[in-house]
Structure 1
Amino acid sequence: MTEIDWNRARAFLATAEAGSLSAAARKLGLTQPTLSRQVAALEAELAVLLFERIGKKLVLTEAGDSLLQHARAMGEAALAMSFAASGRAEAIEGRVTISATDGNAAYVLPEIVARIRREAPQVTLVIIASNSLSDLQRREADIAIRHVRPEGDNLIGRLVRESTAHFYAASSWLARNGHPKSPADVAPHDFIGYEQSERFAELMRGIGTRATVDGFRLVSESSAVVWEMVKRGLGVGLMSREIALRTEGVVELFPDLEPPRFPVWLVTHRELRTSRRIRLVYEILAEELGRV
């Protein structure tokens, strides 16, 4: 019976999931020729063709498709072993990866990171600033700050607080346009929108504006970009209160308006909570985020 080399199986799994050698190589931190050689070696080892090229795409053969579930099982077993080893690490040193939205990563986390650095100077913190949910079960991050309840049997989460979002403008914008009494007094093109424009427009219409998707003249998927534009007086933006309170030169426009509310969850993998370094970072994050 042929013993499968895990590195080759991992190369096959990454290529099948990414759909191309280049994307899989980036994911694994390998060069494309190295990855290609590993896949070819696995094909030779198993005496089967795993992929066929159709145009510019790699497509699984029937044999490759049937073997994919076994490669995934190997991947899950390797991850479980990694989690178990990380969870039993006693030293307060090593890497801890924190995933957060770009706004929280840029404006809220630095203060908290300063405390972690004081209390655990040997820990290396890796901050992932992304508005996509990191897959903790696939070890894309050790800890995530999310606005949705965690799902998955192996994840544990703590609801640290509820946050609110409000409308703000820079003093320079107010000097040019005056202080509006309600959102309806702001021209639709003066609102800075988010990439999910229809959803944002629906929210805006719900508070009495005439907003349409085509009405926004500035749009970004990044809350940090939106906030920087607000700070520079380019328009009116919606931002969480904890970020606005850390910013000079911006004014809340409609304090009597009922604000949108959203939860702040702190999530990690169950196995990782037994790691001293991850547990320490998790508890500091929970304490400081609850205090924000």
Structure 2
Amino acid sequence: MDWRSVKFDWNRARAFLVTAEEGSLSAAARALGMTQPTLGRQVDALEEELGVVLFERAGRGLVLTPSGLELLDQVRRMGEAATGVSLTASGQTQSVEGSIRITASEIEALTLLPPIIAKLRCEAPGINIEVLGSNVAADLRRREADIAIRSFRPTEPELIAKKISESTARLFASSDYLDRLGRPVTLEKVNGADFIGYEPPDTFVHSLNEMVGLSVSRTNLKVISPSTAMHWELVKLGVGLSVIPDRLGDAEHGVERVLDGVAKPLVFPTWLTTHRELNTSRRVRFVFDFLADELAVPAATSTPAKKPRR
């Protein structure tokens, strides 16, 4: 069938596209913010309008029929075109009022962005801000966010990025835990410590050994979590060692650098990224420049302040 000659409702086409991408009506309904029966009716109506079956049931999910697979490519291109129109329209607005979505890693969203957003709200009260704190990178091309704060440079040609700064992170532990550990002064002594690990754990262990200079194994990981905020709380409670940004660890009483001057710090950049077309918007340009200025402010010091022992 030549799908280009078929005229159908875009809402139904979008319902089909998201259902195909999510793999079930329930997941697609959540993604679109509608009820499952409503979504099901839209897909059924599209099938009736086209006179073909688009999905077959497979357990609790759905799989595309040959006709559905053929249609999917066409509808996906329609979705990309619709996104392009939206991006162009958003990029041309000259108002600094409206909504903007900023994405950052979980720990940055919790500890770095709040004072910046408070200042931004004072300077531009007409801008409504949505913050997406996640360690999974949002897709700016699909408008999952307008501006991203990332530790890597994007490679997509549609995106533009500005390197703002470089930060350091290193092993931190509570003073109490270091006392229990005997206050190690060599890498060899730290190799027997308890660690709080990230996922995937094998990659985390490899990074510790390769970049910090340790010789630990997965058996050292007593707690594993993808959440940096969880790591930070567990470090403060004396559960073990973990890699924490210096700006957090150095400011917390009762938490210390581990083997300062012996173990190598991790250095990571901060990139501010946005879509090339969105960057022509006054609102996005204003927020982008504002974030660039605020994030470029260096930490108060690169040397840990003297903190009283508990």
Q: Determine if the TM-score, normalized by the shorter chain, exceeds 0.5.
A: yes
C-alpha RMSD of matched pairs (Å): 1.6
**Higher mean Cα deviation, 279-288 or 207-216?**
207-216
Asked whether 1:190 is paired with 2:217, we answer: no
8 A Cα contact 1:2 1:45, kept in partner? no
Distance 1:218 1:63, change over 3 A: same
Asked whether 1:68 is paired with 2:66, we answer: no
8 A Cα contact 1:21 1:32, kept in partner? yes
Out of 271, 282, 287, which is 2:288 matched to?
Answer: 282
**SS of aligned partner of 1:7:** helix
**SS of aligned partner of 1:17:** helix
Distance in 1, matches of 2:282 and 2:7, equals: 36
Distance in 1, matches of 2:251 and 2:213, equals: 28
Distance 1:268 1:49, change over 3 A: same
2:259 matched residue in structure 1? 254
1:148 matched residue in structure 2? 152
Distance 1:273 1:245, change over 3 A: farther
Give the Å deviation of 1:200.
1.4
What is the identity percentage for the equivalent residue pairs of Structure 1 and Structure 2?
47
Name the amino acid aligned to 1:222.
S
2:113 matched residue in structure 1? 109
8 A Cα contact 2:93 2:281, kept in partner? yes
Structure 2: runs of 5 or more not aligned: 299-310
Tell me how many residue pairs correspond in the alignment.
Answer: 292
2:234 matched residue in structure 1? 229
Name the amino acid aligned to 2:16.
F
Distance in 1, matches of 2:124 and 2:52, equals: 50
Out of 267, 271, 276, which is 1:265 matched to?
Answer: 271
8 A Cα contact 1:79 1:138, kept in partner? yes
Give the Å deviation of 1:189.
4.8
Name the amino acid aligned to 1:224.
A
Give the Å deviation of 1:196.
1.7
8 A Cα contact 1:48 1:63, kept in partner? yes
8 A Cα contact 1:169 1:252, kept in partner? yes
Structure 1: runs of 5 or more not aligned: none
Give the Å deviation of 1:29.
0.9
Out of 62, 79, 83, which is 2:87 matched to?
Answer: 83
Distance 1:248 1:66, change over 3 A: same
2:26 matched residue in structure 1? 22
Distance 1:253 1:53, change over 3 A: same
2:306 matched residue in structure 1? none
Misfit runs of 4+, over 6 Å: none
8 A Cα contact 1:52 1:60, kept in partner? yes
Distance 1:37 1:189, change over 3 A: farther
Distance in 2, matches of 1:99 and 1:159, equals: 16
Out of 242, 248, 251, which is 1:243 matched to?
Answer: 248
Give the Å deviation of 1:211.
1.6
